[in-house]
Amino acid sequence: MHPAAPDYKHVKGVRAVATLELTKGIAVALAGLGVFTMRHRDIWGVTESFLEFFHVNPYHHYVGIFINLVYRISDIHLWKIALMAAIYVTLRFVEAYGLWRLRAWAEWFAIASGSIYVPFEVDDLLKRPDWFRLLIVVINVGIVFYMMLLRLEAAKKRLAARCAAKSDAALE
């Protein structure tokens, strides 16, 4: 097998990660579109309708935080949120495409993008521990280590192929 050829025994694992990244991208794209459609609207009225629809107590602490956040949002903030969502979605889709196609650059990209979030996720877990945050940290760390394992295996294959080529050249 050529040393640069992808390792097909890991196809299911890599494609599972690609599917997860695609799902994250779709979720943020939908949320971003939802935020983007709020521009030039009465955000306060939409917020009141949302709270009434879900029968939420407006005096609850977290609802108060949500209401204060909505009160401070302007059209400029909505554009910024939509732009950040578009950048994030583009990165997730590029990563998912590369992983699905078993590209080495996508594995490196997954290592880098996953590693960036780990300290923030761990900090969040330490501040507010719960099972969901723990699950997020475990999945993200698992993906980073899995991609590192794939890159190390590929490096070993390249080294073995180089050594074999040198020994073949020495025999001739």
At 109-131, the pLDDT tens digits run 999 999 999 999 999 999 999 99
Q: What string of H, E and C letters represents the secondary structure of 1-20?
A: CCCCCCCHHHHHHHHHHHHH
Burial of residue 127, with CB atoms counted within 10 A of its CB: 0-12 exposed, 13-18 middle, 19 or more buried: exposed
* Span 62-90, average pLDDT: 79
Residue with more model confidence, 170 or 1 = 170
Burial of residue 147, with CB atoms counted within 10 A of its CB: 0-12 exposed, 13-18 middle, 19 or more buried: buried
Q: Is pLDDT above 80 for 4?
A: no
Residue with more model confidence, 158 or 75 = 158
Q: Is pLDDT above 80 for 17?
A: yes
Q: Is pLDDT above 70 for 5?
A: no
Q: Is pLDDT above 70 for 27?
A: yes
Amino acid at 146: Y
